[in-house]
Structure 1
Amino acid sequence: MAAVTVFALCSGVWLLRDGAETHAPPQPSAAQARAGLGGRAGEQPAVPALPPSPPDRIRIPAIRVDAPLTGLGLTNTGSLDVPPATDENLAGWYESGTTPGEPGTAIVAGHVDNADGPAVFYDLGALARGSTIEVDRRDGGVAVFTVDAVEVYAAKAFPDERVYGAARRPELRVITCGGGWSRGTGYQGNVVVFAHLTGSR
């Protein structure tokens, strides 16, 4: 998948309608970034991986996210489809890829806003390292992830391999729009949360 994968999330129609740049979503600080790729080159799992199971819900307590997940496929152009913008509390996961909790990199994406205001991942840029993400799985279990980093990338410099590349341990990426906003082009990039599996129940 390429940077265009999540570009459809990034129009900023709510800000465009209101002309209210002061209401732009929070962006991660440099303190939340990390060096290195993480989860690559032999890094060992923190806990045993889980068997494959589709996810049904994502919870991020620190930013008050509690949202159902819908499966996402690819569009005709090869980019990741997006959840319906009309449902502000719906996120999606790439259902042809890794399921959250099994070895590899699972992808979750959601809108930062819609025409009515903030959407499911509006506060994603405010998340801090060490925060917890919980994913309810269809097998009845819960995969618990710990945030390693929260970073923002310009659309033209999106690091595909860093974000989407294969991992030996179970990892999770949560993606929305960010990187500033302009009336002419919408959001300038993407906020990406990097997390790895640290527990289950």
Structure 2
Amino acid sequence: MKLKKISKKQSLVILFIALIILACYIYVIKSTNILLSGQALVYNAHAETIGSMRLRIPKIDVNARVESMGLTSLGAMDAPKGPSNVGLYNLGPRPGEVGNSVMDGHFGWKNKIPAVFDNLNKLVKGDKIYVDNGKGSTRVFVVRQLRVYKVDQDASEVFISSDGKTHLNLITCSGLWDSRVKNRPNRLVVFADME
């Protein structure tokens, strides 16, 4: 069997089509949000304002406004800009939806200003956490456990759940401040389940 020679014009057309396919592939890859363990997220971003949502933890005197948080340029969950609010991870479920809803807040703010999660480590199994959705409904969560992660440790289980249940996980920094890297070495996570 003899193969037909491809003309220069046909070669350029094939090359052009291949470049278009490659450009489309790169666009799709860059548009897909990938988190931690490489699993693609399937939740829609919650672009609307959530300023009327509040997190309440009576045991540690928390009554905080909730901000929408995405990812930093390094792929980590962003944190609220100030010490008083908490951030809701906007690429995951909202509190009350199936899966792991994740909120973060600061511990140990500069100049000894109190931060929202300064006493998060005082929660114990059975303590209650309340999320007011700002529309007259409150979700109640019960603390299941507290766990400390190293800052570079795999924390996929904080964000991804496959048990079909509704969870709320709270994250804050812990450990001594490292002025060289301007960060704390650990993350305290409170795992809670909807009542």
1:107 counterpart residue number = 102
1:141 counterpart residue number = 137
Listed as ranges, the matches of 1:153-192 within 5 Å are 153-157=149-153, 159-167=154-162, 168-185=164-181, 186-192=183-189
Structure having greater relative contact order (Cα 8 Å, sep ≥ 6):
1
**Alpha-carbon distance in structure 1 between the residues aligned to 2:95 and 2:138:** 10
**Alpha-carbon distance in structure 1 between the residues aligned to 2:109 and 2:36:** 23
The alignment status of 1:193 with 2:186, answered yes or no, reads no
The residue type paired with residue 108 of structure 1 is M
Which string of whole-angstrom CA distances, capped at 9 and with x for unpartnered residues, describes residues 108-132 of structure 1?
0011122132300011111111100
CA spacing shift, 1:181–1:75, aligned 2, 3 Å: closer
SS of structure 2 residue aligned to 1:77: coil
Q: What RMSD over aligned residues (CA atoms) do the two structures have, in Å? A: 2.2
Which string of whole-angstrom CA distances, capped at 9 and with x for unpartnered residues, describes residues 61-102 of structure 1?
1111111101112233322221113xx211110122100011
The alignment status of 1:93 with 2:88, answered yes or no, reads yes
Unaligned residue ranges in structure 2 (runs of 5+): 1-34, 38-49
Greater Rg over alpha carbons, structure: 2
Count of equivalent residues = 146
The residue type paired with residue 107 of structure 1 is V
CA spacing shift, 1:96–1:128, aligned 2, 3 Å: same
**Alpha-carbon distance in structure 2 between the residues aligned to 1:169 and 1:109:** 20
Among 110, 116, 123, which residue is 2:111 paired with? Answer: 116
Unaligned residue ranges in structure 1 (runs of 5+): 4-53
4+ aligned runs moved over 4 Å, structure 1: none
The structure that is strand-richer by fraction is 1
Query: % of aligned pairs identical?
Result: 34
**Alpha-carbon distance in structure 2 between the residues aligned to 1:183 and 1:73:** 25
Check the 8 A contact 1:179/1:191 in 2, yes or no. no
CA spacing shift, 1:138–1:164, aligned 2, 3 Å: same
Alignment TM-score, normalising by the size of structure 2: 0.68
The residue type paired with residue 118 of structure 2 is Y
**Alpha-carbon distance in structure 1 between the residues aligned to 2:145 and 2:66:** 22
2:78 counterpart residue number = 81
CA positional deviation for 1:180: 3.8
